[in-house]
A and B are shown apart, each in its own frame.
Chain A
Amino acid sequence: MLKDYRKKYFNDLESSVASLLIFCIYFFIIGYFFNWLIIEGVWVGDASVCKSSTGACVSFLKEKLVFILFGVYPREFLIRPILGIIILILGWLHFTKKKNWNNLLFFKFLALMFIYILLLRGFNDSFVPTSKWGGLPLTLLLSIVGIALSYPVGIFLALARTSNQLIPRYLSIIYIELIRGVPLISILFMSSVLIPLFLPDGVTINKLFRAQIAIILFSAAYFAEVIRGGLNSIPKGQWEGAKSIGLNYFQIIRLIVLPQALVKVIPPTVNTIIGMFKDTSLVIIIALFDLMGTTKASMTDSKWLGFSVEAYFLCALIYFIICSKMGKFSKKVEQELQRGH
């Protein structure tokens, strides 16, 4: 064990110097962080104790943890978003198993989404309006509904772009390049300012749905490009073979091409999902309280001013755990697919 490490890090003079340098950097960062969080950090006590210390204010995080995670969601119903998150974790465990990758997967995902939304929304006397949704459940909601609705749109766009039908092809090329050429912020602005102008009198769409529409429109173009890569990687022989046994275009797509293409592009698809999950944080700019929004809002409490770094660390930790979990899955699938060839 020790020998392994010696060989890894101190094999010759050059690598020893490099290792020592890097270890010094690690030591400095971890030491500083440890000092900040544990030694000088304030774990019990109120704001006045925190202000007199130079370390982290953990009691601020303890005080605000529920707010950062769930926003202004009614406290008596807090069990429901928690239950929703547990269901999502179970769903994640279910979907990442290779034996579950079949036609039913997408419908299971839709069912999961509806259960999640119902849990957040509730019925008659336990109804919670969307304006009170916030924090982590909202971030998850934006990403899940985003995936569920933009993935099929992405498939259609990709099929249109690879088909030999002139007009659908050009329409989809225009759409994809238009969306991919502009930042998400401009689409969010567009959806928050322009969608009301496009609607007839009396019809209004809630702010959350407008942001959701923007996210769907945006990520559909990115999914389309990923799926197009998969469609292009299917060899021509598959098409010809399918045609020769008398299948028509839709049958070929549904039974032969899509099942192969979609599995092939799972790693870039998951990377797109990670990007989308991170991008949902931009809804803060149109004043929605997702995880980032509640983090920022927690700092405006006049009793607890000036502990922004602590709050950002907590928020970053949550994003990091979720994203790196997905990233690890994507890496694992990538290696499996490469071994398959």
Chain B
Amino acid sequence: MKAKYKLSSIIFSTTTLFLVGGIIYVLFSQLQENLNTQNIATGFSFLGYEAGFEISESLVDYDSFDTYEKALLVGFLNTIKMAVVGCFFAFFIGLIFGVMGISKKHALKSFAENYINIIRNIPLLLQLFFWYALFTDIFPNVKEAKSFLGVLLTNRGFYFPIFTSTFVTFIFIFITGIFLVGILYFCLIRIKKYKIPSFICLNLFSLWIITLVFNQLFTVTHPTLQGFNISGGESLSPEFCSLFLGLTIYTGAFMAEIIRSGILAIDKGQWEAGRSIGLNDYQLLRFIIIPQSFKVSLPPLISQFLNLTKNSSLAVAIGYPDFVSIANTSMNQTGQAIELVGLIMAMYLSLSLISSVTLNFLGRSSRA
């Protein structure tokens, strides 16, 4: 009986294998034939050719005389930049709204629910178009833009003042960081009640003081209008800003839902035990509930990070030069569709592979 079952299973397996293999073989032989008749050369040699198109923003030096390889590298770095910045802020949005979603204060809870509900039910692409339209259609042009605390919002992007030397910028960030950590420590040790409000107030106050002192000590370049352009300061392009806003707000809503349900999955006894040893709500969340809830919500959170990275490929619709968008341009120029689609897939697959390996590692270490 058992032997018969095994025989049928072997037959079944081999038939599937032959069927799938056969389909793939037929498709690829047809592909080969079509490529031969259309005289399309295959292979990755085109990567060494001159790209000939400009890229509006880049983390490394690039001009149109560089190769396709360099252009794709620029795109890859832009994708990574968006993914890192986006994941960081989306997580914070998710955390804030997730905790708001379980609040006993009804107004906060309903606000978080409304946010999650509205954002999750509108396609991301539409939100991206909307933010982009906000920048290009609604925000004033550079001549009419009014500066607010040295910051300019125009249809050419987001401008903000910056210290003239990068070394000073580093010192500024370093000292701010030390102050913030110090305030956090002070809050945790000293002030028992109203920890979050006092933390936020002290933070804002210290940031203001540090900025003021640095403003006096070092020279700052403010973005100012000169002729038809804004010079000085640092700027972010409208494409980057709208993609960033769209991705973080969209993914933040999903993360909020995940974090909220992770917190709800924690046993009620944990809350009661925490209260009985005299912790307040903030301490309870910070030391008992949220650390435990991450055990539940880490896998879906990581898949959301991955989703954000995959969704950043929608950049092609609003013209942010990410990997997919540059691969698309190269595809139109060279006609090497198979190789470039393959490259896109390989890139995203390797990212998801890395993240699933990390996930396994984290899962193992948290269980141990």
Which A residues are closer than 8 A to B by beta carbons? 8-9, 14-15, 18-19, 21-23, 25-26, 164-168, 171, 177-178, 180-183, 185-186, 189-190, 193-194, 197-201, 274, 278-279, 281-282, 284-285, 292, 296, 306, 308-309, 312, 315-316, 319-320, 323-324, 327
Are B31 and A197 interface neighbours, CB within 8 A?
yes
Query: Would A320 and B118 be within 8 Å (CB), given that A166-B13, A178-B349, A281-B126 are in contact?
Result: yes
Residues of A within 8 A of B35 (CB): 197
Measured between alpha carbons, how far is A189 from B111 in the docked complex, in Å?
Answer: 39
Task: Report yes or no: A165 in contact with B9, Cβ–Cβ below 8 A.
Answer: yes
Q: With the chains together, A32 CA to B125 CA distance in Å?
A: 24
Q: Are B125 and A282 in contact (CB under 8 A)?
A: yes
Instruction: With both chains docked as a complex, state the minimum distance between the C-beta of B299 and any C-beta of chain A, in angstroms.
Output: 13
The distance in angstroms between the C-alpha atoms of A63 and B328, with both chains bound, is 35
Residues from chain B with a CB closer than 8 A to the CB of A319 are 121-123, 126
Pairwise interchain contact B111-A22, C-beta atoms closer than 8 A: yes
Determine if A278 and B349 form an interchain contact, defined as CB atoms under 8 angstroms apart.
no
Encoded as 1 (CB less than 8 Å from any A CB) or 0, chain B from 13 to 39 comes to 110110010000001001100110100
Chain A residues within 8 Å of B351, by CB:
181
Inside 8 A of A19's CB, which chain B residues have their CB?
105-107
Given A181-B352, A183-B324: A189 in contact with B121 (beta carbons within 8 A): no
Please, how many angstroms separate the alpha-carbon atoms of A200 and B26 in the complex? 10
Contact stretch, chosen from B66-74, B80-88, B264-272, B308-316: B308-316
Looking at the assembled complex, report how far the CB atom of B61 sits from the nearest CB atom of chain A, in whole angstroms.
28
Query: Which of B111, B125, B344 makes the CB contact (< 8 A) with A182?
Result: B344
Q: A312: which B residues are within 8 A, CB to CB? A: 126, 129-130, 133
- Bound together, the chains give a CA A25 to CA B12 distance in angstroms of 63
Specify which chain B residues have a CB less than 8 angstroms from the CB of A316 in the assembled complex.
122, 126-127, 130
CA gap between A92 and B138 in the complex, in Å = 39
Which residues of chain B have a CB within 8 Å of any CB of chain A? 9, 12-14, 16-17, 20, 27, 30-31, 34-35, 37, 103-108, 110-111, 117-118, 120-127, 129-130, 133-134, 137-138, 310-311, 313-314, 316-317, 324, 328, 331, 337-338, 341, 344-345, 348-349, 351-353
State which of B16, B121, B311, B341 has its C-beta within 8 Å of the C-beta of A193: B341
Complex: how many Å from CA A307 to CA B202? 43
A320 to B126, CA, bound (A): 11
Contact B125 A15 (CB under 8 A): no
Q: How far is the CA of A16 from the CA of B257 in the complex (A)?
A: 25
Q: Is the CB of A194 within 8 A of B123?
A: no
Whether A185 touches B324, Cβ cut-off 8 Å, given contacts A167-B17, A285-B317, A308-B133, is: yes
- Looking at B13, B126, B310, the one whose CB has the most chain A CB atoms below 10 A away is B126
Task: Choose one: B117, B313, B317, B353; the contact of A186 (CB below 8 Å).
Answer: B313
Whether B316 pairs with A168 at a CB distance below 8 angstroms is no
Q: How far is the CB of B245 from chain A (nearest CB, A)?
A: 14
Is there contact, CB below 8 Å, between B31 and A182?
no
Some 21 contacts from A to B, beta carbons below 8 A apart, are A15-B107, A18-B105, A22-B111, A25-B111, A165-B12, A165-B13, A168-B13, A171-B20, A183-B310, A183-B348, A185-B324, A189-B331, A198-B30, A201-B34, A278-B123, A284-B125, A285-B316, A292-B126, A309-B134, A316-B127, A319-B121
Alpha-carbon separation in the docked complex, A327 to B119 (Å) = 13
A236–chain B nearest beta-carbon distance, Å: 18
Are A320 and B125 touching (Cβ within 8 A)? no
Q: Once bound together, how far apart are the Cα atoms of A327 and B317, in whole Å?
A: 27
In the complex, which residues of chain B have a beta carbon less than 8 angstroms from the beta carbon of A182? 310, 344-345, 348-349
Chief secondary structure at chain B's binding surface: helix
**A19 and chain B: residue at smallest CB distance:** B107
Residues of A within 8 Å of B34, CB to CB, are: 197-199, 201
Check A185/B106 contact, CB under 8 A, given A199-B30, A308-B137: no
Given the complex, which residues of A lie within 8 Å of B16, measured CB to CB? 165, 167-168, 171
Cβ-closest chain A residue relative to B331: A193
**Residues in A whose Cβ lies below 8 Å from that of B130:** 309, 312, 316
Q: In the complex, what distance in Å separates the CA atom of A306 from the CA atom of B155?
A: 13
Q: Point out the residues of chain B lying under 8 angstroms from A181, CB to CB.
A: 345, 348-349, 351-353
Q: Report the Cα distance A201→B338, complex, angstroms.
A: 18
In the bound complex, residues from chain B placing their C-beta under 8 Å from that of A281 are 123, 125-126
Q: Could you say which residues of chain B place their CB within 8 Å of the CB of A18? A: 103, 105, 107-108
Give Cα A18 to B138, complex, Å: 31
Contacts of B20 in A (CB 8 A): 171
What B residues does A201 contact at CB under 8 A? 34, 37
> CA separation between A324 and B117, bound complex, in Å?
8
With A189-B328, A193-B337, A281-B126 known, 8 other A-B pairs at CB within 8 A are A182-B345, A186-B341, A193-B331, A199-B34, A284-B317, A306-B137, A312-B130, A320-B118
| A186 & B138 in contact (Cβ 8 Å cutoff) | no
Residues of B within 8 A of A323 (CB): 120-122
B31 to chain A, nearest CB (A): 5
Given known pairs A165-B9, A285-B316, the reply for A327 and B341 (CB within 8 Å) is no
List A contacts of B122 (CB < 8 A).
Answer: 278, 316, 319-320, 323
Q: Report the Cα distance A185→B348, complex, angstroms.
A: 12
CA gap between A323 and B121 in the complex, in Å: 5
B134 CB contacts on chain A under 8 angstroms: 309
- Contact pick for B338, options A186, A194, A292, A296, CB 8 Å: A194
A183-B313 CB under 8 A given contacts A166-B13, A316-B122, A324-B117? yes
Set of chain B residues within 8 Å of A197, measured between Cβ atoms: 31, 34-35, 337-338
Contact A309 B137, beta carbon cutoff 8 Å: yes
Distance of A180 Cα from B124 Cα, bound (Å) = 18
Instruction: Find the A residue at minimum CB distance from B328.
Output: A189
Complex Cα spacing A166 to B6, Å: 12
* Contact, CB under 8 Å: B314 / A185: yes
A19, A178, A312: which has the most chain B beta carbons within 10 Å?
Answer: A312
